Amino acid sequence: MTAPDPFPFIQHGAEEVHRTAAYRFENNGREGPASYVIQRTLSGAAFFSDARGRHLVPPGHAMLFTHHEPTAYGFPPEAGEPYRLRFIAFAPAGTRGIFERLRADFGSVVRMPDASEATALLDEVIQRYGQRQFRDRLHESELLFRLLIALYREQVQDTRTTDPIEFGSHYIRSHFRSPVNLKSIVQKCGVSREHFIREFSARYRESPGVMLRRLRLEHARAMLAATGLSVQEIALACGFTSSNTFCRAYRLKFGRSPGTGRR
């Protein structure tokens, strides 16, 4: 049996302009392969409808969707100017998890400003697709991965001002391997320590300190099983300041020392 292709590839990419409500698609009725789509508004606006309701997609924003899902999009009947867009449709392969995580964390309509890294990558992908300028399939896949990661990173940065508690959660998950502490995390979020701990604990059902320690210890346990690094090296690679601190936390969490767990 042939293994599934792990490399995503572009199925189509273009710039379009639409002026009437005749431009409308119901995704659960689409034919063909189950493409994944990033569609960015250049001017005017589109609408996107899903289980959460109807959303406008103004300039500097993009809609994310897949064919064969129960969503719809198109030209808003109330629009006063043409809708100009750029989009790519691609076979997701190895990018499926990133795309779905992006939608789960931030919704199907996301910010994608003109000067952003994600917008530059989207424009590059569309240009290279149109001019057949990808070096090879790996280059095409690399650009798609970079585009999705840049788009995710930009949404995280936006939450720093719109939702500092969510930003703190993303910051912890992205930086737990570094020697960050609660004080530095709270400073990044721009709120008081008491407010951050209270709101974070209520939303995520664990305190920020517990989440930080849990992520470090789970990563350490995986490293103990998969590498031959010393306990000291693993402690530092997982964000602990010393092997003694790591060993105490590991024993408290798993009921045995790191060395015993490895044996």
Tokens of 234: 């693993």
144 shares its domain with 174: no
Is 237 found in the same domain as 125? no
The CATH number of residue 124's host domain is: 2.60.120.280
- Rounded-to-integer distance, Cα 142 and Cα 95, Å: 10
Same domain for 157 and 171, yes or no, is no
Q: Is there a single domain that holds both residue 146 and residue 101?
A: yes
pLDDT at 260: 79
Q: Is residue 2 part of a domain?
A: no
Mark 10-45 as b/e (b = at least 16 C-beta within 10 Å): beebeeeebeeeebbeebeeeeeeebbbbbbbbebb
Residue 166 CA from chain centroid, whole number: 13
The number of domains in the chain is 2
- C-alpha separations of 198 from 161, 165, 171, 206 in Å: 18, 10, 17, 10
How high is the pLDDT of residue 118?
A: 98
- Same structural domain, 44 and 121: yes
Question: Tell me, what's the pLDDT at 1?
Answer: 67
For the stretch 194-214, pLDDT in tens is 999 999 999 999 999 999 999
Pair (138, 185) in one structural domain: no
In which domain, by residue range, is 182 found?
Answer: 164-262
4 in a structural domain: no
CB atoms within 10 A of CB 162: 10
Confirm if 126 and 14 have CB atoms less than 8 A apart.
yes
Q: Are strands 61-66 and 9-18 parallel, antiparallel or unpaired?
A: unpaired
CA nearest to 9, candidates 36, 31, 39, 40 = 36
The letter for the amino acid at 129 is Y
Give me the tens of pLDDT residue by residue for the chain, a chain 263 residues long: 677 889 999 999 999 999 999 999 999 988 877 899 999 999 999 999 999 999 999 999 999 999 999 999 999 999 989 999 999 999 999 999 999 999 999 999 999 999 999 999 999 999 999 999 999 999 999 999 999 999 999 999 999 999 999 999 999 999 999 999 999 999 999 999 999 999 999 999 999 999 999 999 999 999 999 999 999 999 999 999 999 999 999 999 999 999 876 66
Quick one: 155 and 183 in the same domain? Answer: no
Amino acid letter, 105: D
DSSP 216-227: HHHHHHHHHHH-
